[in-house]
Amino acid sequence: MHEIVKEMRRLEKELEYHSKRYYEEDAPEISDREYDMMFARLKELEAQYPDEASPTSPTLRVGGAVAERFEKVRHVVAMGSLQDVFSFDELNAFIQKTGNDLLYTVECKIDGLSVLLTYEDGVFVKGATRGDGVFGEDVTANLKTVKTIPLRLNTPVKQLVVRGEVYMPKSVFAAINKQREEDGETPFANPRNAAAGSLRQLDSALCAKRGLEIFVFNLEICSDSLPDSHKERLDYLQSLGFAVSPYRKQCFGSETVAAVEEISALRPTLGYDIDGAVIKVDSIAGRAEIGELSNLPKWAVAYKYPPEIVESTLTDIVIQVGRTGVLTPNAVLEPVRIAGTTVSRATLHNIDYINGKDIRIGDRVLVQKAGDIIPEVVRPLTEKRSENSVPYKMPDVCPSCGSPVKRDEGGVAVRCTNTDCPAQLHRTLLYFARTMEIDNLGESVVQALIDNGFVKSAADLYTLEVSPLAEMERYGEKSAKKLVESIEKSKKAPLARLISALGIRQVGEKAAIALAERFYSIDALSAATVDELITVNDIGEITAKCIAEYFEVPQNKTLIERFKALGLNMEEQAEEKGTALAGKTVVVTGTLPTLKRNEAEALIRKHGGNAASSVSKKTSLLLCGADAGSKLAKAESLGIPIINEEEFLKIISE
């Protein structure tokens, strides 16, 4: 009995840890399958030994919590979870217990982030994450960037609350992970965590770039009279303009297994990730009769598909050099079929991933597709390893240019130290052109410029002339003239855009704007110390070090001087700031009558204040609008002055 209790406490602790990594930090360390198996084992033990079950067991509540950086909202209806089943025997047991003669609806189980959407008079007014099932995070601004969420319904409904699953399409997930690996960032584990991380960004503009979509799968509250059928309610939601569960089939109990298998066969053809099928009693009245447990409906289950894992031989490990010089190892495999496609390459992410799993060339390995998309090596089969096998070692020099490589301090990325490395040039030029908004400079044109010896750095773009360009293969005078004109136009780009285009690690569009507003010129920025950089809003110590290190590299200094000589804009007109909020830290919360949050924050900065995202003892003022949540409560508890929009505008006008 002692060992059983010990196992239960261990499982509770591990599930709590992995639940936090999954739901709150969007950075899982184990597969969904491993988590599900631990969860199922704990439930089994609790059923056998109910007296030993903890009153705070993870099985008693929905995973997740409300992040402090978001407004906390109480759901108008509880957002529970579903009981999982992992075999057809378990599914059939559910059907027999619930009713074999009942009509069921079988749907895809989209692997994303569950949200609750609220509409008033046909207009979208609020959206929240599931959180702990009772309280969630107010992510309305971010949800408004999801293109498949209608902001206004086709037919006005006085009150409507629906539940859906926000997801990231497979193609978007693959593109983002490719970019993250090139930039030396840790790739997302799967589309679900990519979607969650995107939706929980404080900057809705960044969320908008992530290409999120949604499928609505349940109608929670509606002021209109509705049919008793769940499937017909989904049809009703579709008529209002919602994207609803893409596969939904009504069938009797004995037919549900076939429907689940039918969905499984569709998985390789879908543009989004699913991890199972949901089986629900179709009659809403029937559901009420069957009832619910404290946090689980008794009228529905989720059948979870096992991941498809195949065996292959890892014949080699090759290194790809990305735009920022990051060396990314990739496995070369004996071709195998996984999830409908032939796979001969798989990502190995970084040297820590290889060392942690002890992956070696020549190993027999297990391979799966992360999120059914990106092939990855799960683990080596060490029992089949040859005796002369040796651990893998990352190269000491860049495979492209032969320069020494260096591992990031406190990070996992290994980089080429040569900023003129040929392998980086193509991606560097593409990134520079995209950021500086240079038209007609795509991948093929960049490669042609490199192949013809016209460019060896971004500065060379500004020396290009029409006549030599027109001589390139499949490139005429008209195209050459357009390109040169676009490059010339980019010289006038704002300083923030140039800072971003330099490709400094950790410095994206938002950080570049903050740096331009603080230093006003490249010269001032390049002379800034780490301590000075840290004082800039949104710039942390790691980013500050990356900026300082960039301007210490001789090749980068030369590049900046060439940009100056070629006439690029290197300064920002210093905007005269007011002093009404000088030295004050102001947090904006709730919905203001006329100002959007970003507009209010811009005014705070314009008048000398610091616009912060969370309330703390250092907060000077809370600018509060309607529907304020946890930030208002925290400000009140700390005795922080609270003002409305009218009072705010009066302060800055004076």
Regarding whether 426 and 385 lie in a shared domain, the answer is: no
- Whether residue 140 is contained in a domain is answered as yes
Ranges of beta strands (E only) in 244-363 are 248-252, 274-281, 300-304, 310-321, 327-338, 341-347
Q: Phi then psi for 213, rounded to 5 degrees?
A: -135, 175
Beta bridge partners of 485: none
- Cα 163 to Cα 622: distance, rounded to the nearest angstrom: 32
pLDDT band at 373; cut points 50, 70, 90: low
Among residues 141, 144, 128, 139, which one has the least CA distance to residue 74? Answer: 128
Residue 185 has a pLDDT of 65
State how many domains the chain has. Answer: 6
Q: 292: which residues sit within 8 A by CB, 6+ positions away?
A: 80, 298, 299
CA 418 to chain centroid: 30
Most confident of 355-359, 473-477, 581-585, 592-596: 355-359
**Beta carbons of 2 and 8 less than 8 angstroms apart:** no
Regarding whether 237 and 111 lie in a shared domain, the answer is: yes
Query: Between the CA atoms of 216, 221, 223 and 225, what dihedral angle is there, to the nearest 10 degrees?
Result: 80
State yes or no: is 109 an active-site residue.
Answer: yes
DSSP string computed for 305-323: PPP--EEEEEEEEEEEE-T
Q: pLDDT tens digits for 585-624?
A: 899 988 888 888 878 887 887 888 887 777 888 899 999 9
Task: Tell me which of 470, 492, 514 is where a domain ends.
Answer: 492
Give Cα separations from 249 to 103, 227, 252, 298, 562 (angstroms). Answer: 10, 17, 10, 20, 64
Q: pLDDT tens digits for 117-161?
A: 999 999 999 999 998 888 888 988 889 888 899 999 999 999 999
Regarding whether 527 and 465 lie in a shared domain, the answer is: no
**Domain housing 43:** 2-60
- Whether residue 401 is contained in a domain is answered as no
pTM score over 0.95: no
pLDDT band at 574; cut points 50, 70, 90: low
Q: Is 96 exposed, middle or buried (0-12, 13-18, 19+ CB in 10 A)?
A: exposed
Q: Which amino acid is at 325?
A: G
Q: Is the dihedral of CA 120, 125, 129, 133 positive or negative?
A: negative
- Whether residue 646 is contained in a domain is answered as yes
Among residues 210, 220, 118, which one has the least CA distance to residue 128? Answer: 118
CATH number of the domain that residue 287 is part of? 3.30.470.30
- Cα 60 to Cα 46: distance, rounded to the nearest angstrom: 11
Candidates 6, 43, 97, 109; catalytic one: 109
| Six token digits for residue 545 | 């070090």
Regarding whether 338 and 352 lie in a shared domain, the answer is: yes
577-600 core/surface letters (b: 16 or more CB in 10 A; e: else): eeebbeebbbbbbbbbeebebeeb
Average pLDDT of span 32-39 = 79
CATH number of the domain that residue 448 is part of? 1.10.150.20
- Whether residue 502 is contained in a domain is answered as yes
Query: Between the CA atoms of 380, 13, 4 and 44, what dihedral angle is there, to the nearest 10 degrees?
Result: -80
**Beta carbons of 405 and 397 less than 8 angstroms apart:** yes
In whole numbers, what is the pLDDT of the chain averaged over residues?
A: 87
**Beta carbons of 25 and 67 less than 8 angstroms apart:** no
Regarding whether 162 and 291 lie in a shared domain, the answer is: yes
Regarding whether 535 and 472 lie in a shared domain, the answer is: no
- How crowded is residue 554: how many other Cβ atoms within 10 Å of its Cβ? 8
- Weakest-pLDDT range from 79-88, 337-346, 578-587: 337-346
Q: pLDDT tens digits for 392-427?
A: 999 999 998 888 898 887 778 898 877 678 888 888
Regarding whether 450 and 318 lie in a shared domain, the answer is: no
Average pLDDT of span 362-377 = 82
- Cα 379 to Cα 345: distance, rounded to the nearest angstrom: 15
- Whether residue 449 is contained in a domain is answered as yes
Residue 16, SS3 per DSSP = helix
Q: pLDDT tens digits for 209-233?
A: 888 999 999 999 999 999 999 999 9
Most confident of 45-54, 372-381, 490-499: 490-499
Regarding whether 543 and 500 lie in a shared domain, the answer is: yes
Among residues 262, 226, 193, which one has the least CA distance to residue 30? Answer: 193
- Cα 217 to Cα 196: distance, rounded to the nearest angstrom: 18
Q: For 453-594, where are the alpha helices, taking DSSP H only?
A: 466-470, 477-489, 495-501, 509-519, 522-527, 530-534, 541-552, 554-565
**Beta carbons of 241 and 154 less than 8 angstroms apart:** yes
Q: pLDDT tens digits for 427-465?
A: 889 889 989 999 888 888 998 999 899 998 899 999 999
Task: Tell me which of 254, 270, 304 is where a domain ends.
Answer: 304
Regarding whether 186 and 108 lie in a shared domain, the answer is: yes
Strands 103-110 and 274-281: antiparallel
Regarding whether 97 and 230 lie in a shared domain, the answer is: yes
CATH number of the domain that residue 353 is part of? 2.40.50.140
Task: Tell me which of 304, 322, 356 is where a domain ends.
Answer: 304
Q: Is the dihedral of CA 399, 400, 403, 405 positive or negative?
A: negative
- Whether residue 607 is contained in a domain is answered as yes
Regarding whether 480 and 373 lie in a shared domain, the answer is: no
- Whether residue 580 is contained in a domain is answered as no
- Secondary-structure percent of the chain, ordered helix, strand, coil, rounded to 5: 40, 25, 35
- Cα 23 to Cα 10: distance, rounded to the nearest angstrom: 20
Residue 145 has a pLDDT of 85
Regarding whether 591 and 558 lie in a shared domain, the answer is: no
Calculate ∠ Cα 652-653-654, nearest 5°: 90
